[in-house]
Amino acid sequence: MLNAPKLTLAILINAALITPTFASEQSDAKGFVEDAKGSVLFRTGYILRDKKHGIEDQSSFAQTAIVDLDSGFTQGVVGFGVGVVGDGSFKIGDNQHSGNNMIPRDDQGNPYHHWARGGANVKARFSNTTVRYGTQVLDLPVLASNTTRLVPEYFTGTLLTSREIKNLELVAGKFTKDQMSDHINTDSNHLDDAIVWGAKYKFDDQLSASYYGLDSKNALERHYINANYKYPLANQSSLTFDFSGYHTKFDKNANTYSATGPVNADYAETGKAGVEKTNNIWALSSTYNQGPHSVMLAYQQNTGDVGYDYGQNADGFQSVYLPNSYLSDFIGNHEKSAQVQYNLDFGGYGVPGLNWTTAFVYGWDIKVRNVTDNAQEREFFNQVKYTMQSGFAKDASLRVRHSYYRASDAYNPVYIGDTNEWRIFLDIPVKFF
């Protein structure tokens, strides 16, 4: 692996200590208790995957309580604080055919009846720079925790976030453990060393850009870029252009489900090519918004030796900040994909809190090892979500999502396979303080 990330990390830490150009967050600290926040999210989650071609269906149904406690910072030049994240869950029904990263299983393959996970972290803040060490939920394009299942994916390590220059955010960190959503062990994905760094800058109200990098020891090197431009139009309309892309170099010991070219003889069993592989994936989208309506068109393309594999190398099961990502992420080797999406906010028609999203994505030119260079896949996606706007259940939400997914015969055995999927999630947040 390169030494550049370590050098970049040192530069970012030094940059965080420069004289601030605007008000200091730490100077406004009210105290350890006074600024504390605490909440619990009660979530009921159900996922059904109706598999085709004689493959056994998967169904997961469970209840959880996700706790997030975070103190304020002590007053002074340097402020200190602590935090706790965790969850306690139990299954609903036998769940013998569960999967979908929802419910952990014991050594005999039986689903747990109930389980609990979590950890603590400590933090310090100087001026507008915060460093946190311990168990965390990450939201970085190159190392993102899965939050779309019952409970979140947890990483353990250190993350520094600096906002010393107005409109510029710098991050740098190192993580050594990755606990997936359906795992009890705190390092079930066997993360070695993952160094992350990055920056995002808001040029003005219309234009922003970002870059992030990841160096994961004995696994991969990854780089991400994004640029977003919003052009306002008349009559409360706007046109938004977004470009995003990843470049990934996989180590020979990394898991790569879609490898082509030279591979080890045991690749089919291990998923490890035995030689370094690379992937480039980029996407361009354009969204037209007019009041409660928005329409998005997107194009996405892969090149290199493998598809954009993520998650299996302890690099975050949500690290796919790309537009063509639903049940399928359309990340096959050399795959091209196009999408049309429509979103309706019913608040414009007198029903605030109700939202509907529908999309169709088609992918083609997928390379399947030793089979074809022209496999295809397609997905028709619908989601309805309602969030309570007031009353005793304010902010509670119900989300119902359905995907109709089909792939060509060559691609069926190596990726998701023909599936009709339902996801139903009821979230009830409660604030302690």
Which of the four pLDDT bands, split at 50, 70 and 90, describes residue 236?
Answer: confident
Residue 334 has pLDDT above 80, yes or no: yes
> Does the residue 20 lie in any domain?
no
> Does the residue 310 lie in any domain?
yes
Model pLDDT, residue 320: 98
Residue 8 has pLDDT above 80, yes or no: no
What does the pLDDT average to over 350-365?
98
> Does the residue 49 lie in any domain?
no
Model pLDDT, residue 282: 98
> Does the residue 352 lie in any domain?
yes
* CATH for 335: 2.40.160.10
Residue 10 has pLDDT above 80, yes or no: no
> Does the residue 182 lie in any domain?
no
What does the pLDDT average to over 267-273?
91
Q: 114-123: per-residue pLDDT in tens?
A: 999 999 999 9
What does the pLDDT average to over 181-208?
96
The rounded Cα 328 to chain-centroid distance in angstroms is 14
> Does the residue 129 lie in any domain?
no
292 beta partners = none
Q: 90-109: per-residue pLDDT in tens?
A: 999 999 999 889 999 998 99
Residue 4 has pLDDT above 90, yes or no: no
Domain count, the chain: 1
> Does the residue 202 lie in any domain?
no
What does the pLDDT average to over 383-405?
97
Residue 15 has pLDDT above 80, yes or no: no
What does the pLDDT average to over 255-267?
90
Residue 367 has pLDDT above 50, yes or no: yes
Model pLDDT, residue 20: 47
> Does the residue 47 lie in any domain?
no
How many percent of the chain have pLDDT more than 90? 89
Of the listed ranges 125-134, 231-240, 254-263, the one predicted with least confidence: 254-263
The domain of 367 spans 217-432
Of the listed ranges 16-30, 190-204, 267-281, the one predicted with least confidence: 16-30
Residue 17 has pLDDT above 60, yes or no: no
